[in-house]
Amino acid sequence: MSAEHATPPEKASPVKKTYTRPLDIRHGRIDMGHGAGGKAAAQLIEELFLPALDNAYLRQGDDGAALPLPPQAASPGQLVMATDGHVISPIFFPGGDLGCLAVHGTVNDVAMMGAQPLYLSASFIIEEGYPLADLQRIVDSMGAAAREAGVPVVTGDTKVVERGKGDGVFISTTGVGWRPPGVSVSGRHARPGDVILLSGTIGDHGVAVLSQRESLAFETTIQSDTAALHTVVADLMAAVPGSVRVLRDPTRGGLATTLNEIARQSGVGMRLQEAAIPVKPQVDAACELLGLDPLYVANEGKLIAIVAPEAADAALAALRAHRLGADAARIGEVTADPHHFVQMDTRFGGRRVVDWLSGEQLPRIC
C-alpha cells in the first residue's frame, strides 16, 4: 500500500561498519550492550532488525522516518515519525522523571528530523503492584511536559505484567510531526568543511541519574538537562534556512557515539577540539570519580547541529539566543576521511580517535 505512494527516499550511505564478528544468531543472547546505543546495538539493528523489517524508510537510519503522505492527502510536505522506549532506572531523578523524559525524548527525535512535532502516543507497560501515587506523579509530569511543549498525548495504551516481569513502569512514546517541503535534515547530509555545533554542556543527564542509583551513593546537585528542543530547532532553522545539514540529540552513547553514527551515515570524518566542548565542572568531577568519560554520557536536552560553514556564526548566535542553547559552542569540523574517524585535538596538544561506545557503559539511562 505505502509502496504505491512512496517517493523513493534518498539512498542510505553504502558504508557498512565492520564488526569483529557477525552476530551469533543461533546461540547468542541479548546482553545489556545491545541496548546501550553503541556498537553492539548498531550491529543488532543491522544484522537482525533491518533485514527482517527491510524498507526504504527504515534504511534512512535516522532517529525517525520521513514519510510521504498518500496522494489523496494532496499535501506537499512529509510526515515524520519517531519512537522511543523509556526504561530509565530510577524512575525519578534530579531534574526530571520517566514521564517528562518520555515526552522530551520523542519530541526531540521528531524535531531532529527538521519537523514540527504535532502529536504523541504513549504505551505504558506497568508492573503489578506499582503504587498508583507514583504512576500519578509520572503521568502528571508527562502531561505537564506535553502541555509545555504544545505536543499533546493523543492516544495511549496500558498493559500490566506480573510482579517480577517488569520494573515499575516502561513508557514507549511515538511522535508524529510535519515537515514542510524542501527541508531535508538527515544524518546522511554532513559534508567536509561543515561546522559542528553543540547546544550546551554534556553529561548532565547521565550523571544526574547515576547519582540516584543506590549502588552509587554519590552526592551531587547535578540536574538532568531533560528538555524539549523543538523550539531551539525552529529558531535555528529560521536563522539559517537551508544551511542546517544534520540535527541529532546525543542521548544513549553520548556525544562520541552520536558523532560516530553521523560520520558513518554521511561517509565523512570529523575533527573535534576537546577544549571547545562544554562540560560543567561538577559533571567533570563526577565523571572522574566514577571512571566515566563525559563524551559517552547521555544527554536529554542537547543537540548537535552540523551546518554549512558560511552559516556557522549565525547558527551559533541563534542557538545562544535561546534559553536552552545559552552554552552553545562550535566544537569541530567535518573532514574528508575514508575511514570515517572522529578525531579530537586534546587539551594537551595531542590528538586521539574518539571511537563509539562498544558495549554497555550506563544501562537504562533513558
Give, as ranges, the residues between 43 and 102 that touch its own copies (CB under 8 A): 44-45, 48-49, 52-55, 57-58, 63-65, 67, 69-70, 72-77, 79, 81-87
Phi, then psi, of 93 in degrees rounded to 5: -145, 165
Cα–Cα nearest to 264, from 362, 355, 360:
355
CA 34 – CA 276 distance, rounded (Å): 31
Residue 133 or residue 238: which is nearer to its own copies going by CB?
Answer: 133
The least CB distance from residue 283 to its own copies, in Å, is 24
| DSSP character string of 66-108 | EEEPPGGG--SSEEEEEEEEE--SSSEETTEEHHHHHHHHHHH
The least CB distance from residue 117 to its own copies, in Å, is 8
38: which residues sit within 8 A by CB, 6+ positions away?
252, 253, 257, 356, 357, 358, 359, 360, 361
The least CB distance from residue 6 to its own copies, in Å, is 9
Asked whether position 152 contacts its own copies by CB under 8 A, the answer is yes
* Amino acid of residue 65: A
Residue 17 or residue 351: which is nearer to its own copies going by CB?
Answer: 17
Q: x/- string (CB under 8 A) for its own copies, residues 195-234?
A: ----------------------------------------
Kindly report the number of other CB atoms within 10 A of residue 285's CB atom.
14
Q: Which stretch binds its own copies (CB under 8 A): 20-28, 270-278, 305-313, 326-334?
A: 20-28
Q: Which stretch binds its own copies (CB under 8 A): 37-45, 208-216, 270-278, 341-349?
A: 37-45
Number of residues that bind its own copies (CB under 8 A): 98
CA 364 – CA 366 distance, rounded (Å): 6
The least CB distance from residue 274 to its own copies, in Å, is 30
The least CB distance from residue 21 to its own copies, in Å, is 13
Asked whether position 156 contacts its own copies by CB under 8 A, the answer is yes
Residue 189 or residue 280: which is nearer to its own copies going by CB?
Answer: 189
The least CB distance from residue 302 to its own copies, in Å, is 19
Asked whether position 30 contacts its own copies by CB under 8 A, the answer is yes
Residue 53 or residue 289: which is nearer to its own copies going by CB?
Answer: 53
CA 86 – CA 43 distance, rounded (Å): 21
Strands 116-127 and 153-161: parallel
The least CB distance from residue 232 to its own copies, in Å, is 14
The least CB distance from residue 251 to its own copies, in Å, is 11
Asked whether position 12 contacts its own copies by CB under 8 A, the answer is no
Residue 68 or residue 309: which is nearer to its own copies going by CB?
Answer: 68
Residue 129 or residue 193: which is nearer to its own copies going by CB?
Answer: 129
Residue 148 or residue 313: which is nearer to its own copies going by CB?
Answer: 148
Phi, then psi, of 351 in degrees rounded to 5: -140, 140
Kindly report the number of other CB atoms within 10 A of residue 219's CB atom.
6
CA 117 – CA 114 distance, rounded (Å): 9
CA 147 – CA 152 distance, rounded (Å): 6
Interactions with its own copies, residue window 105-144 (CB under 8 A): 116-119, 121-133, 135-136, 139-140, 142-143
Residue 139 or residue 255: which is nearer to its own copies going by CB?
Answer: 139
Cα–Cα nearest to 251, from 41, 67, 14, 12:
41
CA 225 – CA 298 distance, rounded (Å): 10
Residue 78 or residue 224: which is nearer to its own copies going by CB?
Answer: 78
Using DSSP's 3-state secondary structure scheme, residue 23 falls into coil
Segment holding 246, helix H or strand E: strand 244-248
- From 151, 195, 311, 318, residue interacting with its own copies (rule: CB under 8 A): 151
